Amino acid sequence: MLRILLGEPPRKNSGVLAEAMDNMAKIAALLRKEMSTHEDRDHEFRKLEVWTRGLISSLDELEQSWFAAAFYRKLVIAGYMDDMSTMEQGEYARYVYFYKNGFIRIFSLLDKFGTVLNSLYDLNTSKVKAHFSYFTVLRQFHSQKEHTVLADQLENIKNAYREPLENLRKRRNAEIHYMNSEMQDDLWQRHQGLHDKIHLEDLDSHLEDLRQGLEMVCKSLSVAFRYSNEQWHKNQ
């Protein structure tokens, strides 16, 4: 959708994004088949199918946010806010909007993913923490010791992206609980020199964190839903 608005051709899924989308689509199809074969009186299959389709949509929206942020970043040339034209300030504002939209979506998607895993594998994470996150679900996976292969894979992916995730988490927390994330650096610079020009944050570094966050999400989804697909066929 955003690519069309930006005058770009539609996305063709590839790499880890395509793998994640395909593996989720396979599970959604299996759930629909199960619903048509059995009555699904407790609507458990229907619920999981809806949640899985929701994850597919959320991943699509996350990737679009990253793409749009990268698109507008290319249009920001000046290194200081004071040096920007009115038009460039608008491009910067659009970059900030989609960048923030992206990092908020990463943690939102991960928590939805955690909810699906919790239900799919009967982890009962709510007994440990009423309002749990994806990372709480990972800890619960390890404590139950039943699906250690999947738990270890997800943990390894999380650890491989620890630094960008931590950077994104700090910005997400600042954005939600404290102040606009892009203004934190402005505040620090004001402390250094009240009348100095404000240098822009490191846009490329921030975008790279977002790209890696997207990649981490894709790999986690792909691994989990591929494993679930294998388990499903194994138990038939």
Q: What is the pLDDT of residues 190-225, one digit of tens each?
A: 434 444 567 788 999 999 999 999 999 999 999 999
Looking at residue 189, its pLDDT comes to: 43
Pair 175, 181: CB distance under 8 Å: yes
> Please, what sign has the CA dihedral across residues 22, 113, 161, 178?
positive
Looking at residue 198, its pLDDT comes to: 72
The residue segments making up the domain with residue 86 are 2-234
Looking at residue 193, its pLDDT comes to: 40
Pair 132, 118: CB distance under 8 Å: yes
Residues of the chain with pLDDT under 50: 187-195
Contacts of 198 (CB under 8 A, 6+ apart): 80, 81, 82, 186, 189, 190
| Helix, strand, coil percentages in the chain from 3-state DSSP, rounded to 5 | 75, 0, 25
Nearest CA to 104 out of 54, 186, 192, 177 is that of 177
Looking at residue 117, its pLDDT comes to: 95
Dist. CA 170–CA 39, nearest whole Å = 46
Looking at residue 52, its pLDDT comes to: 96
Looking at residue 191, its pLDDT comes to: 38
CA distances from 35 to 31, 40, 138 (A): 6, 6, 28
Looking at residue 218, its pLDDT comes to: 98
Looking at residue 227, its pLDDT comes to: 95
Looking at residue 145, its pLDDT comes to: 81
Looking at residue 152, its pLDDT comes to: 95
Helix pair angle (203-234, 162-177), 10° resolution? 110
> Please, what sign has the CA dihedral across residues 74, 76, 80, 83?
positive
Give how many domains the chain has, as a whole number. 1
